[in-house]
Amino acid sequence: MSYFSGLVKSTLSRVVSGQDQSFPYVLKEKDYDYEGASIWSLHEGVKKADNSPVSIFAFDCVSKRHLLPLARNHFKRVKTLRHPDLIRYLDGIETEEYIYIVTDPIFPLSQQLKATNDSQLLFWGFYKIANAVKFLNTDCNLVHGNIRVNSIFTNKAGEWKLGGFELLSSIQEESPFIVNYGELMPDFAKYATPEIKKHSPRVIKDYGPGVTDSWQYGCMIYEAFNGDINYPEQIYQRGSIPMNLFNQYKSLLAPEPRGRLSLASFIDGGLMSNGYFQNELIQINLFLENFAVKEASEKEAFFKGLQSALDKLPQDFCKYKILPELSKALEFGSGGPRALGLMMKIGEYFDDKEFEAQLLPTVVKMFSVTDRTIRLSLLENLGSFIKHLDKRIVNDKIFPHFASGFTDSVPVLREQTLRAVLMLIPKLSDRVINNDLMRYLAKLQIDEQPGIRTNTIICLGKIASSLNDSNKKNALGSAFVKSLRDPFPHARMASLMALSATVDYYEPAEKATKIIPCISSCLLDSEKIVRDQAFKAIGIFIKKLEAVANSMPDTTVITASAPKQAQGGNSQEEGWAGWAVSSITKKITDTIDSNPNTESSSNSQAASPSTPAPHSEPVPCANTSNMATPQEGGFGGFSSTYSSYNTKQGLANPLTPEPYKEKNAPVSATMALASMKLQGPPKPKNTSTFFKQDPWDMDTSGWDEDFGGDWDNDNNNWGSSAMPPNKFKPLTPTNVTQSSQPKEANQKREERRTRLNEQRDKKKPSSLGARRM
C-alpha cells in the first residue's frame, strides 16, 4: 500500500513539474488573492506545445476530501457545457491527490472590481452573466445554485465568464445534486433564498430553476456595487446601485418566489429604450455578435460610429474583443477597408509582441489581396503599425506586394504607395533601397501625372540620406537635373529644392560644370516661384564652391625667376611660350596680314619663334586701356582695337605672370599669350575617350534608361544640353619686341616651329584647341 501511495505522489509531482507527457500543460504561479474564495486554487499555466497561456484550477483531494463531490460535479459539468458566456474547458486530469482543470486564461472578477469603476464595462458584465444564467435555466433546464462574485471570472477583454459549477443540477432528476450536497458549499446559507432558509434546498424542485438563480443574481449585483454582504437585511439597501437599475434589482430579491423577476425579463427590461443596458459599449458588442446578418448600410453606419467611439472604450476591450470580431468580418469579406482601418487604429495599443501575435498575420495577408480598397486602406494606415513590423518580414513578405502599387493603373494607388515609402524606408534593407526601390522611382519620375512626378522628386530628396555613396553621387544629380526640364512648374521647383538639400553629396567639379549651368536655365523661368527658388539654389551652390575655391592654391603654374625671363633667346620661358600658343600662331599672323593700318614698331625685330617665317613685319600691340568687358569683346575681354604697345603699361591682366611686370623689361607677346593658357590638351581622334562618361550614370537604378517623352533623353551627357561648349575667337597679338638671339638658337626654334606647323596641318583643328567645358 505504501508503494502504491508513493507511486501516486511521484505521478503527481511529474504532472505539476510538467514532466508527465500525458498532461500537456505546465502548472505555474498560484493566484493567492483567490485563495479561500472557492474550493479551488487558481494557477497560471502554459501549454507545452506552443507556450500559449492558460489558467489551471487545482483541487486538493487529500486536504479537502469532504468537498470532493462538489469538485467532481464541477469537473463533470464544465466538460459538457459550451456557451460564449461560460468559462471554456480545454483539458483536465484527475488523480488520487489532485484534480486539474485547464481553461482559457481568466482572472477573478474581484480584481476587475478593485481596478476599475467603468460603469459601461460593469453593465456589460451584468448582461453577460444574465445571458449565461438564462441559457442554463431556459435552454438546459438547469439550476446554477452558486451565483456570486467568486464564481465569476474575466478574460483579457474584461468580459465576464460564469464558472462555479459545483452545485449545477438538473431539477428533472429525482434527487438533484444541489438538494443533496448544497449545504456542503461554503457560504451557502449567505446566498440562500428565503424559502430555502425556511425549508430546505428540496423546495427548488417546486419553483423551477430560475427562482434560486434570480435571487443569487441580485445578491451578486449588490456585491458588485457595494462590496461584501455582512448581514441578510443589507441587500435591501440601495447603496451605490443606480436608480434606473434599482427597481429591477428589488424585483430580483422579491420574498415571494413566484413574484421574483426572471433573468430573461431582466434582460428585456434593460434593453428597452432608456434601459440600463442602453450604453455605447453594449450596443457595439451586440452589433458585432450579429454582424453577419446585418445589412451593408447598417455596417457602414456602425463602422462610422465605431471610429469615433474607440477612444472612449477600454483599451483591453478594444484589443481582445472588438479586434477579433473585426478580423472575422474582414476574413469573410463583410468588413471592407473601414474594418481594416479600425483594426490598424486598435493596433496602436499593442506592443511589438502582441502585434505580432494578434495583427501581423492579417496585415501580411491583406497586402497580398487584389482589392484596391483594402490595399489603399493599408497604405493610409501604415504609419500606425509600421513601428511593430520586423525588418525581415517587411523585406521578405511585405515589400514584394507593396511594390505592386508603383505600377498600378490607378493613379491614387501609385501616389499613396509613393507617399508610404517615407514610412517604410527605415525598415528596408540597403539592397532593396538602392536597387529595387530606385528602379521604381525612376519609372515614377516620368509618370503621366504631374503630381506623382513632383512627389517622386520630393520622396527622392527625403530618402537621399538612406542611399549608398554611389547613388548619392550618381543617381541624385541625374534625377534632379532631369526634372528641371519638367513642364510642370512644381516639379521644377521641387528639383531645385532637392538639389539645395543634397548639395553636400556632389563633387565640386560636378557642381561647377554640370549642376550650376542647369540651374541657371531656371533663372529666367516663366514661373516666378521657380525663378525665386533657382536664385536661392544657385546661391547655395556658389557659396559651397567659394569655400572650395578659397582653399585652392593661387596658381599651379611654375614660373622661372625674373632675370631669366628678361633675357633674350636663351630663356626657357620663351621656349615654353612657343609650344603653349603654337596652335594659334597661324590665326594670329593671318590677322596681322589682313590689317594694313597697323603701326610699325620703332625697334627692329627678328622673327618671333612662334611666328611663321614669311611674316616678319612688326605686329601691333593691344592697348589695354581699351579692353572690353566679356560681353563686349567675347571670351577674355579683349578689344579688337589695336595701338602701339606701351612697355610701361604692360598686359594689365590678372593672368599675366609676375616676371612680366618688371619695369622697362622687354615682353614677348608669345610669352604673354602663353601665360593665359588658352590652349588645352590636344583633342584625341576618338572623342569618347576625351569626354568621360557621365559619372551620374547607373547600371542598376534605371536613371540612365531612355525614358522617352519630351525631355532630354541624353542622360549620358545631360550637361551638354544645359551648357554648350564655348567657341573661342582668335586673338590678334600686337606689336612684338624680340630680343636678339644667337643664330644657332634661332635655327633650332625655326626647326621646331616647322615640325609643329606640319603636325597642325595634319590634324586640321576646328578651334583654338580650348578644352570643352
pLDDT in tens, 693-735: 333 333 334 444 333 333 333 333 333 333 333 333 333 343 4
Mean pLDDT of 29-51: 93
What pLDDT score does 624 carry?
Answer: 33
Predicted confidence (pLDDT) at residue 532 exceeds the cutoff of 50: yes
H or E stretch covering 43 = strand 41-47
pLDDT bracket for residue 116 (50, 70, 90): confident
Q: Of 305-319, 454-468, 583-597, which range is least confident?
A: 583-597
Q: Of 358-362, 510-514, 620-624, which range is least confident?
A: 620-624
What pLDDT score does 564 carry?
Answer: 44
Distance (Å, rounded) from C-alpha 215 to C-alpha 200?
16
What pLDDT score does 398 carry?
Answer: 95
Predicted confidence (pLDDT) at residue 61 exceeds the cutoff of 80: yes
Predicted confidence (pLDDT) at residue 405 exceeds the cutoff of 90: yes
Mean pLDDT of 388-408: 94
- Report DSSP letters for 639-706, one per residue: -S-EE---TTT----TTS-GGGGSTT----HHHHHHHTT---SPPPS-HHHHSPPPTT--SSSSTTS-
Distance (Å, rounded) from C-alpha 470 to C-alpha 430?
12
Predicted confidence (pLDDT) at residue 654 exceeds the cutoff of 70: no
- Alpha carbon distances (Å) from 316 to 133, 159, 324, 346: 25, 10, 12, 10
Q: CA angle, 555 as apex, 554 and 557 as ends, to 5°?
A: 160
Cα atoms in the Cβ-side hemisphere of radius 13 Å centred on 89 = 18
Distance (Å, rounded) from C-alpha 12 to C-alpha 20?
9
Q: Is 616 helix (H, G, I), strand (E, B) or coil?
A: coil
Q: CA angle, 28 as apex, 26 and 34 as ends, to 5°?
A: 130
Among 17, 79, 12, 92, residue whose Cα is nearest residue 48: 17
Task: Match 444541489 to its residue by C-alpha cell.
Answer: 178
Q: Of 296-310, 503-517, 672-686, which range is least confident?
A: 672-686
pLDDT bracket for residue 764 (50, 70, 90): low
According to the per-residue pLDDT averaged within each range, which of 200-209, 302-311, 402-411 is highest?
A: 402-411
What pLDDT score does 4 carry?
Answer: 40
What pLDDT score does 143 carry?
Answer: 96
Strand duo 169-170 + 160-162: pairing: unpaired
Among 151, 131, 1, residue whose Cα is nearest residue 77: 151
Predicted confidence (pLDDT) at residue 538 exceeds the cutoff of 60: yes
Distance (Å, rounded) from C-alpha 435 to C-alpha 450?
24
Predicted confidence (pLDDT) at residue 420 exceeds the cutoff of 90: yes
Predicted confidence (pLDDT) at residue 615 exceeds the cutoff of 60: no
Q: Of 108-122, 503-517, 558-572, which range is least confident?
A: 558-572
Long-range Cβ contacts of 706-709 (<8 Å, 24+ apart)? 707/442, 707/445, 707/446, 708/446, 709/446
Fold of the CATH domain 279-428: Leucine-rich Repeat Variant (1.25.10)
Predicted confidence (pLDDT) at residue 639 exceeds the cutoff of 80: no
Question: Crossing angle, helix 323-331 and helix 336-346, to 10 degrees?
Answer: 150
Distance (Å, rounded) from C-alpha 445 to C-alpha 422?
16
The rounded percent of the chain whose pLDDT value lies above 90 is 55
- Alpha carbon distances (Å) from 529 to 451, 490, 500, 515, 519: 17, 8, 15, 19, 14
Residue 605 near residue 737, CB atoms below 8 Å: yes
Predicted confidence (pLDDT) at residue 649 exceeds the cutoff of 50: no
What pLDDT score does 592 carry?
Answer: 42
Q: Residue 526 gets which letter from DSSP?
A: S
- What digits encode the pLDDT tens for the residues 357-380? 889 998 999 999 889 999 999 999
Mean pLDDT of 413-441: 95
What are the backbone dihedrals phi and psi of residue 298, each rounded to the nearest 5 degrees, phi first? -65, -40
pLDDT bracket for residue 689 (50, 70, 90): very low
Burial of 340 (0-12, 13-18, 19+ CB in 10 A): buried
Residue 518's contacts (CB-CB under 8 Å, 6 or more residues apart) are 481, 484, 718, 719, 722, 723
Residue 256 near residue 193, CB atoms below 8 Å: no
H or E stretch covering 330 = helix 323-331
pLDDT bracket for residue 750 (50, 70, 90): confident
* Residue ranges matching CATH 1.10.510.10 in the chain: 109-277
Question: What nine digits make up the cell of 666?
Answer: 622687354
User: Which is more confidently placed, 150 or 331?
Assistant: 150
According to the per-residue pLDDT averaged within each range, which of 336-345, 444-453, 639-648, 652-661 is highest?
A: 444-453
pLDDT bracket for residue 20 (50, 70, 90): low
* Residue ranges matching CATH 3.30.200.20 in the chain: 11-105
What pLDDT score does 291 carry?
Answer: 85
Could you say which of 2.60.120.10, 3.30.200.20, 3.40.50.150, 3.40.640.10 is the CATH number of the domain covering 11-105?
A: 3.30.200.20
Distance (Å, rounded) from C-alpha 488 to C-alpha 453?
9
Fold of the CATH domain 465-548: Leucine-rich Repeat Variant (1.25.10)
Distance (Å, rounded) from C-alpha 383 to C-alpha 483?
29
What pLDDT score does 2 carry?
Answer: 44
Residue 48's contacts (CB-CB under 8 Å, 6 or more residues apart) are 18, 24, 25, 26
What pLDDT score does 552 carry?
Answer: 92
Mean pLDDT of 508-520: 94
Could you say which of 3.30.365.10, 3.40.50.1820, 3.40.50.150, 1.10.510.10 is the CATH number of the domain covering 109-277?
A: 1.10.510.10
Q: CA angle, 262 as apex, 173 and 245 as ends, to 5°?
A: 145
Residue 378 near residue 394, CB atoms below 8 Å: no
Predicted confidence (pLDDT) at residue 433 exceeds the cutoff of 90: yes
User: How confident is the prediction for the chain on average, in pLDDT?
Assistant: 78
Distance (Å, rounded) from C-alpha 719 to C-alpha 721?
5
Distance (Å, rounded) from C-alpha 439 to C-alpha 700?
7
What is the length of the chain?
773
Distance (Å, rounded) from C-alpha 419 to C-alpha 426?
14
Handedness of CA 211, 217, 218, 219 (dihedral sign): positive
What pLDDT score does 640 carry?
Answer: 33
Distance (Å, rounded) from C-alpha 348 to C-alpha 318?
11
Residue 642 near residue 636, CB atoms below 8 Å: no
Burial of 639 (0-12, 13-18, 19+ CB in 10 A): middle
Question: What nine digits make up the cell of 123?
Answer: 453593465
Distance (Å, rounded) from C-alpha 73 to C-alpha 55?
19
The rounded percent of the chain whose pLDDT value lies above 70 is 72
- What digits encode the pLDDT tens for the residues 66-88? 999 999 999 999 999 999 999 99
Question: Crossing angle, helix 323-331 and helix 280-289, to 10 degrees?
Answer: 30
- What digits encode the pLDDT tens for the residues 150-171? 999 999 999 999 999 999 999 8
Predicted confidence (pLDDT) at residue 224 exceeds the cutoff of 90: yes
- Return the HEC string of 237-300: CCCCCCHHHHHHHHHHCCCCHHHCCCHHHHHHHHHCCCCCCCCHHHHHHHHHHCHHHCCHHHHH
Distance (Å, rounded) from C-alpha 711 to C-alpha 362?
44
Distance (Å, rounded) from C-alpha 352 to C-alpha 388?
5
Distance (Å, rounded) from C-alpha 771 to C-alpha 764?
16
What pLDDT score does 474 carry?
Answer: 85
Distance (Å, rounded) from C-alpha 210 to C-alpha 715?
86
pLDDT bracket for residue 185 (50, 70, 90): very high
Distance (Å, rounded) from C-alpha 22 to C-alpha 38?
27
Predicted confidence (pLDDT) at residue 196 exceeds the cutoff of 80: yes
Predicted confidence (pLDDT) at residue 258 exceeds the cutoff of 60: yes
Residue 459 near residue 496, CB atoms below 8 Å: no
Distance (Å, rounded) from C-alpha 347 to C-alpha 354?
9
Distance (Å, rounded) from C-alpha 660 to C-alpha 652?
10
Distance (Å, rounded) from C-alpha 192 to C-alpha 200?
10
Cα atoms in the Cβ-side hemisphere of radius 13 Å centred on 38 = 29
Among 772, 707, 726, residue whose Cα is nearest residue 485: 707
Torsion of CA 383, 389, 393, 396, to 10 degrees: 20
